[in-house]
Amino acid sequence: MSLAKRLEALNQVYQIYDDYSAALDLACEASCAHCCTANVTMTTLEACKIMDGITASGRQALSTRLKSIEEIPRFKPLLTTNRMAELCAASAKIPAEDSTDQGQDCALLDNDLCTIYDLRPFGCRCFVSRQNCGELGYADIDDFTASVNTVFLQVIEHLDAEGCSGNLLDVLLVMATNDNRRAYENGKLNCEANGLIVNWELKVLMIPPEHREKIEPILQQLRHIHL
Ligand code: SF4
Ligand code: SF4
């Protein structure tokens, strides 16, 4: 599938999720940014959406800003969601991730506002909480929504199965160069050589038995994405 079609599919996936989350009773609001940390992850496809959605001068400014903070401590995932699903299905050992909160803000946060809000990746869209995280100390998310989030992460990774995933800052740094963007478009971006992890196709959905019936209408919407 061409990059343009995959970006169109990504937009539709985001829309389905945004419609789902809009119906939830959440404490989330503008300027609430406790969840905007340097630990967000995303795919290379989502980086393309961000890069394509900002002006050339905005891209240059973003690139300069990212380079100035490229040493900040941040979460670097070892496994993608689809890889983890396969390992779980095979009852294989899952390597432990270091998800220690490094206390750093997201590179794209400015005065508690996201500078790319409409373009933000799914890793941000799925930050939802029934109570204010700052007051509670953690996000209060119901189990069903956690399952929905996992499914969307799996679908988005599948859409970018020839691409890579990683920390938001790392993926943007990689995709900000013309050579890497070209290599990505030609299916030749070397994830590991660029400090990212390889995306996997979706083979096993991670949905607990108690959520399988309730989630079916959402799966139907995802299956009916038109390109
Ligand atoms: S997930 Fe938590 S920190 Fe983020 S907007 Fe919602 S309530 Fe605020
Ligand atoms: S990209 Fe935007 S929404 Fe996502 S963590 Fe950064 S500032 Fe927050």
pLDDT digit string (tens) for 66-88? 888 888 999 999 999 999 999 99
Tell me which residue has tokens 């390992």: 87
Q: Give the atom of ligand 1 at the shortest distance from the alpha carbon of 134.
A: 3
The count of domains in the chain is 1
Residue from 37, 49, 109 to probe ligand 2 pocket by mutation (most atoms less than 8 Å from CB): 109
Using the predicted structure, report yes or no on whether residue 101 has a pLDDT greater than 80.
Answer: no
**Residue 9 CA: distances (Å) to CA of 49, 83, 102, 172:** 11, 21, 33, 20
**In contact, 128 and 24? CB cutoff 8 Å:** yes
* Distance from the alpha carbon of residue 103 to the mean position of ligand 2, in angstroms: 14
**Ligand lying closest to the C-alpha of residue 26:** 1
Task: Determine if ligand 1 sits within 6 Å of the CB of residue 200.
Answer: no
Cβ–ligand 1 distance for 207 under 6 Å, the answer no
- pLDDT greater than 90 at residue 139: yes
User: For residue 82, what are the domain limits?
Assistant: 3-223
